[in-house]
């Protein structure tokens, strides 16, 4: 079978660290294993535009493996011309870069390595909250540039203790974020999700479910977005929804860039509606050089805690999603289809997860 693998290029970094598996040079460590079984592996970072290697090679690929970090967008047009495609595997978590409805229509399975980097993302969220709330970036910039102005930083620096923290999405990452917030003694921890957490998990974390997103946002000092990108979360954080947030709140988004409307975030930050925005996800990726989230700042010159898409691709996470990808391939090649249930996004023309939408259409197309 032909396996097409889309990853970022690492250049000399791949040699510096052989455990940097998620790059074109180290190929998730699967080349020898695949070739020993008679399969062909084509690896590329060229993924955008009609002349890309992805566009050329997908035509006769049986398997496509992509990551959210350097997403090969498997849209309907590409699915239509990939006549032999049987499975899309996401080496990581979050398969929104695949047109899931188009995959279902063609009975193409979509699998991901569920849970492989949820701890990595949760840690990044906690870091980003602290970086924003404590106003770390301007303080660090002062030090690098030879400055020393305590007041300039202190006037926009707060404590996480005593704040109300809320997550949009109370799944694997949302739960881990709240668990990690607990030792900071927040005033309250809230979540909004159409799927309630099990009662014992809610109790263990010490959080409360809020039925309306607008209501939750009106109560939170810090909001963290941890739901997938799908039809009803695309552009969810627009000017209207942001207007329900507390004035001067902080917003952390490590879920997907397109959940937030780019210009509305910039406007909210510059006007002071929100005090800070941080995260690691963008649309498109790689982010263009002139993407306004690179340089936006609040009125005091801070409030920006953006990074490239790194939260879920620590070296530890890469080991886990490389191993998980190999396991999915093993099941696929065996023909048994007995995947880990939690890894299934789409199978046999249906959604195998409830996380990609709660509308009628999704419910009808979910596995019973
Ligand atoms: P999960 O499936 O365990 O949890 C997602 C939760 O979001 C589910 O409980 C679902 O019901 C909920 N949800 C869906 N739509 C919602 C909506 N409209 N409003 C509120 N809640 C909604 O997934 P997870 O492992 O926690 O990952 C969540 C997302 O985080 C992924 O889909 C991916 O987009 C993102 N992610 C990012 C990185 C990164 O490196 N930045 C890494 C992993 C995952």
The ipTM, to two decimals, is: 0.99
Residue 275 and residue 135 share a domain: yes
Domain span at residue 161 reads 116-301
144: three-class secondary structure by DSSP: helix
185: CA distance to ligand 1 center in Å? 25
Does residue 197 lie in a domain region? yes
Question: Which whole-number Å values give the CA distances from 50 to 41, 46, 58, 66, 91, in the listed order?
Answer: 21, 10, 12, 17, 24
42: CA distance to ligand 1 center in Å? 30
Residue 185 and residue 130 share a domain: yes
Residue 163 and residue 121 share a domain: yes
The helix or strand, by DSSP H or E, that contains position 224, with its residue range, turns out to be strand 222-225
* 214, 220, 223, 225: CA torsion to nearest 10: -40
Which atom of ligand 1 has the smallest separation from the CA of 114? 25
Residue nearest to atom 41 of ligand 1 (CA): 254
End-to-end CA distance of the chain: 31
368: CA distance to ligand 1 center in Å? 21
Residue 134 and residue 279 share a domain: yes
**Boundary residue ending a domain (248, 278, 301):** 301
Residue nearest to atom 4 of ligand 1 (CA): 171
**pLDDT in tens for each of the 368 residues of the chain?**
999 999 999 999 999 999 999 999 999 999 999 999 999 999 999 999 889 999 999 999 999 999 999 999 999 999 999 999 999 999 999 999 999 999 999 999 999 999 999 999 999 999 999 999 999 999 999 999 999 999 999 999 999 999 999 999 999 999 999 999 999 999 999 999 999 999 999 999 999 999 999 999 999 999 999 999 999 999 999 999 999 999 999 999 999 999 999 999 999 999 999 999 999 999 999 999 999 999 999 999 999 999 999 999 999 999 999 999 999 999 999 999 999 999 999 999 999 999 999 888 888 888 87
Residue 250 and residue 142 share a domain: yes
Neighbours of 212 (CB within 10 A): 10
Among this protein's residues, is 180 annotated catalytic? no
User: Is 345 assigned to a binding site?
Assistant: no
Question: Per the residue annotation, which of 97, 124, 176, 256 is the catalytic one?
Answer: 256
Residue 71 and residue 131 share a domain: no
Residue 87 and residue 22 share a domain: yes
User: Is 228 assigned to a binding site?
Assistant: yes
320 ligand 1 Cβ < 6 A: no
Among this protein's residues, is 348 annotated catalytic? no
Among this protein's residues, is 195 annotated catalytic? no
Q: Would you say the pTM of this structure is higher than 0.95? A: yes
Q: Hey, which of 71, 94, 305, 351 would you mutate to test ligand 1's pocket, going by the most ligand atoms within 8 Å of its Cβ?
A: 94
- Beta-carbon contacts of 226 under 8 Å, excluding residues fewer than 6 positions away, are 121, 125, 167, 168, 169, 170, 171, 173, 174, 177, 254, 255
* 242, 247, 252, 255: CA torsion to nearest 10: -20
Does residue 153 lie in a domain region? yes
């Amino acid at each position: 079978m032909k396996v097409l693998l889309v990853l970022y290029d690492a250049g000399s970094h791949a040699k510096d660290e052989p455990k940097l598996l998620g790059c074109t040079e180290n190929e998730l460590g699967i080349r020898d294993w695949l070739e020993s079984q008679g399969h062909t592996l084509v690896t590329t970072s060229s993924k955008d535009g009609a002349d890309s290697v992805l566009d050329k090679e997908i035509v006769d690929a049986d398997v496509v493996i992509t990551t959210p970090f350097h997403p090969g967008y498997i849209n309907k047009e590409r699915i239509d011309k990939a006549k032999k495609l049987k499975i899309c595997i996401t080496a990581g978590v979050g398969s929104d870069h695949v047109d899931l409805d188009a995959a279902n229509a063609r009975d193409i399975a979509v699998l991901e390595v569920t849970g492989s980097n949820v701890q990595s993302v949760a840690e990044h969220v906690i870091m980003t909250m602290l970086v924003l709330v404590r106003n770390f970036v301007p303080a660090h910039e002062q030090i690098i540039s030879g400055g020393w102005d305590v007041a300039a930083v202190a006037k926009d620096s707060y404590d996480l203790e005593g704040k109300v923290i809320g997550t949009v999405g109370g799944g694997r990452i949302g739960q881990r974020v709240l668990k990690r917030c607990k030792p900071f003694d927040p005033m309250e921890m809230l979540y909004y999700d159409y799927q309630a957490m099990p009662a014992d998990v809610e109790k263990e974390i010490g959080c409360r479910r809020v039925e309306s997103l607008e209501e939750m946002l009106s109560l939170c000092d810090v909001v963290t977005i941890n739901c997938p990108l799908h039809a009803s979360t695309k552009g969810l954080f627009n000017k209207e929804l942001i207007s329900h947030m507390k004035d001067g709140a902080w917003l952390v988004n490590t879920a997907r860039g397109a959940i937030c409307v780019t210009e509305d975030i910039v406007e909210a930050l510059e006007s002071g509606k929100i005090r800070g925005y941080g995260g690691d996800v963008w649309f498109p990726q790689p982010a263009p050089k002139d993407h306004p989230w690179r340089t936006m700042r609040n009125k005091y010159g801070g409030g920006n805690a953006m990074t490239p898409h790194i939260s879920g691709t620590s070296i530890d996470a890469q080991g886990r999603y490389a191993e998980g990808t190999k396991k999915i391939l093993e099941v696929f090649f065996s023909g048994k289809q007995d995947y880990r249930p939690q890894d299934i996004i789409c199978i046999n023309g249906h959604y195998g997860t409830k996380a990609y939408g709660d509308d009628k259409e999704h419910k009808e197309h979910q596995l019973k």
